[in-house]
Structures are given as structure tokens and as C-alpha cells.
Amino acid sequence: MSDVAQAHLQEQFEEPTQQREASTLGMWQFLATEVLFFGVLFAAYAVCRFRFPDGFAEAARHTHVVYGTIETAVLLVSSAGAALALRNVELGGRRVAALLLWGTALLGAVFLALHGVEYTKEFHEGLIPGLRFTHAGPQAHAVELFYCLYFVITGFHSLHVMIGVVLMSVMGWRTWRGRYAPGYVTPLENSALYWHFVDIVWIFVYPMIYLVGRAG
């Protein structure tokens, strides 16, 4: 086991545990930057929603909550897949783990496809600011503001999912080829961390965007 780790030891490190610690620390710091990156959007959303609570509620009622809910389920399952894949490799597995990782990637692609359908519907409903926005009524400007934020937030999130899909596919391939073993799973761990992060962002996005104004 430790031979695998030794084989992948980069020359700036003395020993595998040092490399693993550094690698993981780097990943967590990167995720911290992502929190702040998305944080701006959540802050903008919070400020705008505080100013236009009714408008945002009306706007949120036009979102496609069924699609959003399915997307949430899809991402949660995909995260479970990634975690199981990691566990599998840690216990000596290879093929099952690779299939799970590809499954995760596939579910990510399904998520993106569903989003694509949503965006298409929003185009036909005239809810895309700057491109085709036909919603009228007294709250029109707040609705438009909501949809500005909706497209930016879900757009950036989808971009991250896309990167994750590629990442998981590559990791699946590498796992299939036996690159990772019980003593050396750090790249898999870090990839899974990234995927979980993308999932967690969605957990915040989903209620903010889809569930506002739907209670009662």
C-alpha cells in the first residue's frame, strides 16, 4: 500500500503523509475561496430580497420547482456515489469504485440537462433578463432582479458542476486503471470534496430560488 503512495511521492515532499496533508489543506483552502466567491451572490440575493420580499416571492413562484426538486435529489445521490466510491477504494476496490464515479459524473450530466430544460422553458416564458423578458405587472422590476440573480447563481453553479463532471470522469478512468489504492487515495478524496462542495452550494440555492413564497 505504502508503495503506491511512495510511487506517487513528489520530490518537494519528504514522505507521503506530508504530501497528503499538504494536498488536503490546499483543497480545503480552495473551497474556502469558493465559499467567498458564491458568498457575494448570496449576499446580493439577501440584500435584494430584503428590499423586495413580495416581488421575490412572486418571482420564485415562476420557477420550476419540480425540476429543481429532482435536481436536488440527483445531486444528493451523486454525492453519495462519490463517497461510496472513495470508501470502496480505501477498502481495496477498483471496478465498483470506477463505476460509481462514472455514475456520479452521469448524474451530474443529468443535472445539467435538467437545468438546460429549465432555461429553455424560461426562455419561452419570457423570463430571461436582457435576452427575453416579458413579465409585466406591478412587481415586474423585482421579478426581473430575481431572475438576474437566478441566472447568475445557477449559471456559475452549473459551470462548477460541468467542471466536476469532467473531474469525476477522469478520476473514474484513473480508478479503473488502478491508480489509487488503500494507502494512496488523496486525489480521490480531494475530488470528492470538490463534488460535495458543489452539492452543498446547491442545497443553499434550492430553497433560496425555488421554495420562496411557496409555503401556504
Partner 1 sequence: MSGTDLNVSIEPSYLVSGGNTLWSWLSTHDHKRIAILYALGITFFFFLGGAAAVMIRLELATPAGDLMTAETYNKTFTFHGIVMVWFFLVPSIPTTLGNFLVPMMIGARDMAFPRLNLFSWYLYMAAGVFTIAMLLLGGVDTGWTFYTPFSTMFSNTHVILAAVGVFVVGFSSILTGINILVTVHSLRAPGMHWFRLPLFVWAMYATSVVMVLATPVLAMTLALIALERLAGIGIFDPALGGDPLLFQHFFWFYSHPAVYIMVLPAMGVASELISMGARQKIFGYRFMTWSMLAIAVIGFMVWGHHMFVAGQSMYASMVFSILSFVVAVPSAIKVFNWVSTLYKGQIDFHAPMLYGLGFVGLFMLGGLTGLFLAATALDVNLTDTYFVVSHFHYIMVGGSVMAYLGGIHYWWPKITGRLYSERLARFAAILMFFGFNLTFFPQYLLGYLGMPRRYHEYLPKYQALNVLSSAGASILAVSYLLPLAYLGWSLFYGRKAGPNPFRATGLEWTTPSPPPTHNFAVTPVVTEGPYEYRS
Partner 2 sequence: MTLHLPLTPEASNFAPHIDALFNAMLWLCGLVALAVFAVMIVFCVKYRRGSPADRSERRHSSLAVELTWTIVPFLMFCALFGWSLKLWSELRRPPGDAATVYVVAKQWMWKVQHAGGQREIDRLHVPLGQPTRLLMTSQDVIHSFYVPAFRVKQDVLPGRYTQMWFTPTRLGRFDLLCAEFCGTDHAAMRGEVVVMRPERYAQWLQSHASTGLAQRGEALFRRFGCSGCHGAGATVHAPDLSGIYGTRVALSDGSTAKVDDRYLHDSIMLPDSQVVAGYAPIMPSYEGRIGEEDVLALLAYIKSSDQPGPHPTEPSHERH
Give the footprint of partner 2 on this chain (CB under 8 A).
Answer: 47, 50-55, 138-139, 141-142
Does the protein bind partner 1 through residue 83 (CB under 8 A)? no
Q: Which C-beta is closer to partner 1: that of 26 or that of 137?
A: 26
Q: Rounded to the nearest 5°, which phi and psi values hold at 8? A: -100, 10
User: Considering only CA atoms, which of 65, 147, 156 is closest in space to residue 114?
Assistant: 65
What residues contact 149, with CB distance under 8 A and at least 6 apart?
A: 41, 44, 45, 48
Identity at 34, one-letter amino acid code: E
Answer with the entry of partner 2, partner 1, none that 138 interacts with (C-beta below 5 to 8 A by kind): partner 2
Answer with the entry of partner 1, partner 2, none that 30 interacts with (C-beta below 5 to 8 A by kind): partner 1
Answer with the entry of partner 1, partner 2, none that 29 interacts with (C-beta below 5 to 8 A by kind): partner 1
Does the protein bind partner 1 through residue 120 (CB under 8 A)? no
Identity at 213, one-letter amino acid code: G
Q: In whole angstroms, what is the distance from residue 154 CA to residue 156 CA?
A: 6
The CB density around residue 38, as the number of other CB atoms within 10 Å, is 19
Residues that bind partner 1 (CB under 8 A): 10-14, 18, 21-22, 25-26, 29-30, 32-34, 36-41, 43-44, 47-48, 51-52, 55, 129-131, 141-142, 144-145, 148-149, 151-152, 156
